[in-house]
Amino acid sequence: MKTHLIHSWPEFKIQSDWTLFLDRDGVINQRTPGDYVKKWEEFIFLPGVPESIAILNNLFSRIFIVTNQAGIEKGLMTHENLEEIHQKMMECLHYFGGNIDEIYYCPFKPDLDPFCRKPNPGMAMEAKKDFPEIEFKKSLMVGDSDSDIIFGNRLGMKTILVGDHNQNTFGDLHAVPDARMLSLPEVAKYFYDLNK
């Protein structure tokens, strides 16, 4: 599979009308292997993420989270559990000066291929409905799995694959990220330095 490292990109500056889409588990917080983050006590920010989101807020017009959360349909957690996690997550981000404009999630398992579940575009379409000014060609998707990258590819977004590439769930030959980086803080630093 051919991928492009960040330093091989034609450099481009993020303009004030660009949008950032973020996966959650593995990008913002630690994954729970074989399980789901079902309550706030299980939610652990990855190092440097709250500070990074504050930096990214100054570079992007809007930031959204798009996350598959099939643990709801599986009965392992409720919508209320997830909302509490996200409320407390947002409180922490606000403490560090960061903000997420909206969080979109899909509560369904993949067996019936629901439209809202990445790599399908449902959550992006919902964001576009809520924020009509979004242009997908002026959007960046950051995720740690092939479903994140295919989601971005299908919509014409730029895409960055983050995480430990020996451990993350990435292997679909149809998923071609524009770049690979170790973490969201590295993404924030790259664009901050480029757009100074």
Q: Which residues are catalytic?
A: 23, 25
What does each C-alpha distance from 63 to 38, 59, 148 come to in angstroms? 23, 10, 15
What are the beta bridge partners of residue 147? Answer: none
* β pairing state of 102-106 and 62-68: parallel
- Angstrom distance (rounded) from CA 99 to CA 81: 21
Burial class (CB in 10 A: 0-12, 13-18, 19+), 54: middle
CB-CB contact of 148 with 159 (8 Å): yes
